[in-house]
C-alpha cells in the first residue's frame, strides 16, 4: 500500500502533478530575462505513479481515472496501422522560443514564456485547420506508451492547449539510447535533478528539432485520450510518432539520472478511436 504522510507533503511540496503540466511563468522581479514558474497548477499531490490503479479511490474528483472510456496511455502497434489522417503541421513552431528549463518533479521539463492568460503567442501546430498552442514539454520515464509490446526508456510530451486555455493535444515521442548525440537534447545544459525542483534556467530552444529527428513526424498513431495523471481529464488528442528519437548513451544517462518513475499503467478501455 502506498501512503505519504500529509505532514511530509506539506513541507516537501516538490511532488507535483503532471496534470496539464500547466505551470506558466511570469517575468521575474530582478533580472530582465529571469522568468519564474508561478504556483499555478503545481499543487502538491498525494497520488503516485506506482499506484496508478487506485487513483479513482483517492478522490471523487478522480473518477475518470477509474470510469473514463478514453484513458491514456494505451498499447499501440503496427497491427493497428498508422494514421492516414490528421497530420500535424508544425510550421507554427518558431526556431527559437524562450522559456524555463527545470524539473517537473519527475524529469526534465521546459515551459515557454507567455503572459498569463495568453496562449496565442505560443508556438502552435495545426491539425485539420485547428491551431493548438504548445505550452512546453516534459519527460516521463519509462515511456508511457508501448509499441508492439516494447517500452522505450523515456517519452517526451509536447503539451498543446486551445486558444482559450484548455488542454487539447499531446505530441509524444519515445526516447531511447542510440549511437550519436541528439541535436535536440544537445540544446540543453545538463538535466536538473528531480529533487531540485526550485532550479530554473532561462534559455531559448528549438521545438522543431525533435520533430526533425523523427522523420518530421510523417508516421504516427493518433487517438482520443486523457491526461496521464489525476484528474485524468479526457478530451485530449494524442499523437505518437512511429519513429523513436535516439540520444547518445550519455544524453540518456543524463535524462534518466534526473528522472524518477512516472509512467501510468496502460489503460484497458475502449473509446480511443485509434487513427480514426
Ligand atoms: Zn505527460
Query: Does residue 265 lie within any of the structural domains?
Result: no
Distance 36 CA to ligand 1 centre (A): 21
The CATH number of residue 64's host domain is: 3.10.200.10
Q: How many domains is the chain partitioned into structurally?
A: 1
Give domain status of residue 57, yes or no.
yes
Gap from CA of 18 to ligand 1 centroid (Å)? 6
User: 154 CA distance to ligand 1 centroid (A)?
Assistant: 11
**Is 272 within the bounds of a domain?**
no
Q: How far apart are CA 6 and CA 266, in angstroms?
A: 28
- Note the pLDDT tens digit of each residue in 102-128: 999 999 999 999 999 999 999 999 999
User: Could you tell me if residue 77 is inside a domain?
Assistant: yes
Grid cell, residue 231, equals 484528474
CA distance 105 to 71: 22
Q: Is 70 within 8 Å of 271 (Cβ atoms)?
A: yes
Residue 88 lies in a domain: yes
Q: Report the separation in Å between the CA atom of 266 and the middle of ligand 1, taken as the mean of its atom positions.
A: 13
Kindly state the DSSP code that residue 197 receives in the 8-state scheme.
Answer: T
23, 63, 162, 177, 213 from 42: Cα distances, Å = 6, 20, 20, 30, 31
93 located within any domain: yes
Cα 32 to middle of ligand 1, angstroms: 30
C-alpha 6 – ligand 1 centre gap (Å):
25
Residue 99 DSSP SS3: strand
| Span from the CA of 158 to the centroid of ligand 1 (angstroms) | 8
Report how far residue 197's alpha carbon sits from residue 105's, in angstroms, rounded to the nearest whole number: 6
pLDDT digits (tens, 9 = 90+) for 127-136: 999 999 999 9
* Number of neighbouring beta carbons within 10 Å of residue 7: 8
Q: Considering the domain boundaries, does residue 1 fall inside one?
A: no
18 domain-assigned: yes
pLDDT in tens, the chain (276 residues): 444 333 333 333 333 444 344 444 433 333 333 344 433 334 456 899 999 999 999 999 999 999 999 999 999 999 999 999 999 999 999 999 999 999 999 999 999 999 999 999 999 999 999 999 999 999 999 999 999 999 999 999 999 999 999 999 999 999 999 999 999 999 999 999 999 988 999 999 999 999 999 999 999 999 999 999 999 999 999 999 999 999 999 999 999 999 999 999 999 878 889 999
Domain span at residue 215 reads 6-257
Give 20 Cα–ligand 1 centroid separation in angstroms.
Answer: 8
Report cis status (omega within 30 of 0) of the bond before 205. Answer: no
Amino acid at each position: 500500500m502506498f501512503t505519504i504522510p500529509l505532514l511530509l507533503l506539506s513541507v516537501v511540496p516538490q511532488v507535483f502533478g503532471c496534470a496539464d503540466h500547466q505551470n506558466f511563468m511570469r517575468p521575474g522581479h530582478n533580472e530582465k530575462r529571469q522568468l519564474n514558474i508561478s504556483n499555478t497548477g503545481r499543487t502538491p499531490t498525494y497520488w503516485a505513479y506506482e499506484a496508478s490503479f487506485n487513483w479513482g479511490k483517492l478522490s471523487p474528483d478522480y473518477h475518470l481515472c477509474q470510469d473514463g472510456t478514453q484513458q491514456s496511455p494505451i498499447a499501440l502497434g503496427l497491427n493497428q496501422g498508422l494514421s492516414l489522417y490528421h497530420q500535424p503541421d508544425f510550421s507554427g513552431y518558431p526556431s527559437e522560443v524562450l522559456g524555463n528549463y527545470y524539473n517537473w518533479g519527475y524529469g526534465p521539463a521546459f515551459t515557454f514564456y507567455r503572459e498569463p492568460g495568453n496562449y496565442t503567442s505560443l508556438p502552435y501546430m495545426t491539425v485539420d485547420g485547428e491551431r493548438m498552442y504548445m505550452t512546453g514539454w516534459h519527460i516521463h520515464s519509462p515511456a508511457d506508451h508501448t509499441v508492439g509490446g516494447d517500452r522505450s526508456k523515456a517519452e517526451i510530451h509536447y503539451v498543446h492547449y486551445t486558444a482559450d486555455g484548455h488542454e487539447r493535444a499531446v505530441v509524444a515521442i519515445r526516447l531511447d539510447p542510440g549511437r550519436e548525440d541528439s541535436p535536440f537534447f544537445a540544446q540543453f545544459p545538463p538535466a536538473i535533478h528531480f529533487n531540485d525542483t526550485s532550479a530554473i534556467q532561462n534559455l531559448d530552444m528549438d521545438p522543431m528539432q525533435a520533430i526533425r529527428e523523427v522523420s518530421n513526424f510523417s508516421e504516427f498513431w493518433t487517438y482520443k485520450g486523457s491526461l496521464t495523471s489525476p484528474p485524468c481529464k479526457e478530451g485530449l488528442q494524442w499523437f505518437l510518432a512511429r519513429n523513436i528519437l535516439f540520444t547518445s548513451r550519455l544524453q540518456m544517462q543524463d535524462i534518466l539520472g534526473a528522472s524518477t518513475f512516472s509512467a501510468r499503467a496502460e489503460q484497458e478501455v475502449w473509446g480511443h478511436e485509434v487513427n480514426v
